[in-house]
């Protein structure tokens, strides 16, 4: 893309793409996507959406501000010829009476980090754009994905275009709603397809030494369906696609940044010095599977060893993404014909993630055969250490006591690594090296805390 001197951007693009800059002015993102990049993308055959209701941006807190955009061109519903793009829902009569806001068809809600548009020559091809820093881990990951036309379980990357020392990744626009009310799996086979999609995508990333670091709550998981209205919850076409096995599920977003989870995962809840981000990816995905589908195991026992193998509290004993995928596929060959067509139960919100026994009421022969994948209970000492080290100030005290007086920021979501001096976000290690954060001879902050209490 050619730089246009008279169309200047009065701020650094590095600030725009930095994941640490969570309070970046939303209006600057609006300025960027409405600025010279619009003409540059038009030269490459893409027309950006137009902004709607910009006056409402300042009515919310800075971290919650979003903008709404709508497509420039009308489009025909149905599946585009290129199957990488999402199915376009028809704006039928079921949308009459929506009163939450005045929406235009296919309106997009965005924080400004990702923007939307269409191919100028084919209006049915809705696309998403993301600005990334040159040479960043995200840029390298997207460049690798762009070399593959289709990867099961990953949103395709159509192309990557240069722009003023940065890059703009172009992807098909897919939609949210993986486990929404209108897309809850109706059969065991549909559930297993969902598992296999996501494990396939994660396995590909890990085989290429890419850590996602942002899996949790199904927030960065999309489907190949574009709803006509953002606020519509009951979408008949999604149910029909699910019944016809046309729904594709894929991981998205590789900017390596995460704000946190309701509870810290077992890998770092005691301030462990050893940290494997690949194993943590597997745990995060398995934890979501466990929370949502734990009550499926009585009718689909094969889910128990797969999920339990992904959420073992000891990272070294956990299945890798490739091992979990291989196990799932082998078990599907054996059990799919037996349980695939069975109807699934409704969602169960009565259990927490860590208080569930996936093996309860399963056939004894099945449990005996797969007992090597059953996660044992955590030792009582770990529960004790977790209780002692749960307050945020305890970790800071232990660091001061055992790290030669280095003052370190440490709370339930963020810590400063004592060796590398880098900000290390929980749930998303900043290095691809599994030994990052290692400290020989010392296992965790919690262990140090107990020793410190004995010394004192």
- Looking at per-residue pLDDT, the higher value among 251 and 440 belongs to 251
Alpha-carbon distance of 435 to 175, in angstroms, equals 36
* Cα dihedral 218→223→229→234 (10° resolution): -80
Phi-psi group of 135: left, alpha or beta (phi > 0 → left; psi -120 to 50 → alpha; rest → beta) = left
Average pLDDT over residues 330-350: 87
pLDDT of residue 94: 55
Percent of the chain with pLDDT over 90: 31
Residue 404 has pLDDT above 70, yes or no: no
User: Which of the four pLDDT bands, split at 50, 70 and 90, describes residue 443?
Assistant: low
Determine how β-strand 225-226 pairs with β-strand 87-88: parallel
Alpha-carbon distance of 408 to 93, in angstroms, equals 58
Alpha-carbon distance of 141 to 255, in angstroms, equals 9
Alpha-carbon distance of 74 to 43, in angstroms, equals 20
pLDDT of residue 200: 96
Alpha-carbon distance of 154 to 140, in angstroms, equals 15
What is the sign of the dihedral through the CA atoms of 282, 287, 289 and 290? positive
Q: What's the full length of the chain, in residues?
A: 456
Give the three-state DSSP class for 203. helix
pLDDT tens digits for 76-103?
888 888 989 999 887 766 555 554 445 6
Alpha-carbon distance of 423 to 342, in angstroms, equals 47
**CB 311, CB 283: distance < 8 Å:** yes
Count CA atoms closer than 13 A to 443's CA, side-chain side.
12
Average pLDDT over residues 321-326: 96
Residues whose CB is less than 8 angstroms from the CB of residue 437 and which lie 6 or more positions away in sequence, other chains included: 272, 273, 274, 275, 417, 419, 424, 429
- Looking at per-residue pLDDT, the higher value among 220 and 269 belongs to 220
Alpha-carbon distance of 26 to 59, in angstroms, equals 12
Residue 217 has pLDDT above 60, yes or no: yes
What does the mean pLDDT of the chain come to?
Answer: 76
Residue 204 has pLDDT above 90, yes or no: yes
Q: Which domains does the chain have, with CATH numbers?
A: 13-172 (3.30.200.20), 181-373 (1.10.510.10), 380-455 (no CATH)
Residues whose CB is less than 8 angstroms from the CB of residue 87 and which lie 6 or more positions away in sequence, other chains included: 78, 79, 224, 225, 226, 237, 241, 246
pLDDT of residue 450: 59
Average pLDDT over residues 231-240: 70
pLDDT tens digits for 100-148?
445 678 888 887 888 999 999 999 999 999 999 898 888 888 999 999 9
- The whole-model pTM stands at 0.80
């Amino acid at each position: 893309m050619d730089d246009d001197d008279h169309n200047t951007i009065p701020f650094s693009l590095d600030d725009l793409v930095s994941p640490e800059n969570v309070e970046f002015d939303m209006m600057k993102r609006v300025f960027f996507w409405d600025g010279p990049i619009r003409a540059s993308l038009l030269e490459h055959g893409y027309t950006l959406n137009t902004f709607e209701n910009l006056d409402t941006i300042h009515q919310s807190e800075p971290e919650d501000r979003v903008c709404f955009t709508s497509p420039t061109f009308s489009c025909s519903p149905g599946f585009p010829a290129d199957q990488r793009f999402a199915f376009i829902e028809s704006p039928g009569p079921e949308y009459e009476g929506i009163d939450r806001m005045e929406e235009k068809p296919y309106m997009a809600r965005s924080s400004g980090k990702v923007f939307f548009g269409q191919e100028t020559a084919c209006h049915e091809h809705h696309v998403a754009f993301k600005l990334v820093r040159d040479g960043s881990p995200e840029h390298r990951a997207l460049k690798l994905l762009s070399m593959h036309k289709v990867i099961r379980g990953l949103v395709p990357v159509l192309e990557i275009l240069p722009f003023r020392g940065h890059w703009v990744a172009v992807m098909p626009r897919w939609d949210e709603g993986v486990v929404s009310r209108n897309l809850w799996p109706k059969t065991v086979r549909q559930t297993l397809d969902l598992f296999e999609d996501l494990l396939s995508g994660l396995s590909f990333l890990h085989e290429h030494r890419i850590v996602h670091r942002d899996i949790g709550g199904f927030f960065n998981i999309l489907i190949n369906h574009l709803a006509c209205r953002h606020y519509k919850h009951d979408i008949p076409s999604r149910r029909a696609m699910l019944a016809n096995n046309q729904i594709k599920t894929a991981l998205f977003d590789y900017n390596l940044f995460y704000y946190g989870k309701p509870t810290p995962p077992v890998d770092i809840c005691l301030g462990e010095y050893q940290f494997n981000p690949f194993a943590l990816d597997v745990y995060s995905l398995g934890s979501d599977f466990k929370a949502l589908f734990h009550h499926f195991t009585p009718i689909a026992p094969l889910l128990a060893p797969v999920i339990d193998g992904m959420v073992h509290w000891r990272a070294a004993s956990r299945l890798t993404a490739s091992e979990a995928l291989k196990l799932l596929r082998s078990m599907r060959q054996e059990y799919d014909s037996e349980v695939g067509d069975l109807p699934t139960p409704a969602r169960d919100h009565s259990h927490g993630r860590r208080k569930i026994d996936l093996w309860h009421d399963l056939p004894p022969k099945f449990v005996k055969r797969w007992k090597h994948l059953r996660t044992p209970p955590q030792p009582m000492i770990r529960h004790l250490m977790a209780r002692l080290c749960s307050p945020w100030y305890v970790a800071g005290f232990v660091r001061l006591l055992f790290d030669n007086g280095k003052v370190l920021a440490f709370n339930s979501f963020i810590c400063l690594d004592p060796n590398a001096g880098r900000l290390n976000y929980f749930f998303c290690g900043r290095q691809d090296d599994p030994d990052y954060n290692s400290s020989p001879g010392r296992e965790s902050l919690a262990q140090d805390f107990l020793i410190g209490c004995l010394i004192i």
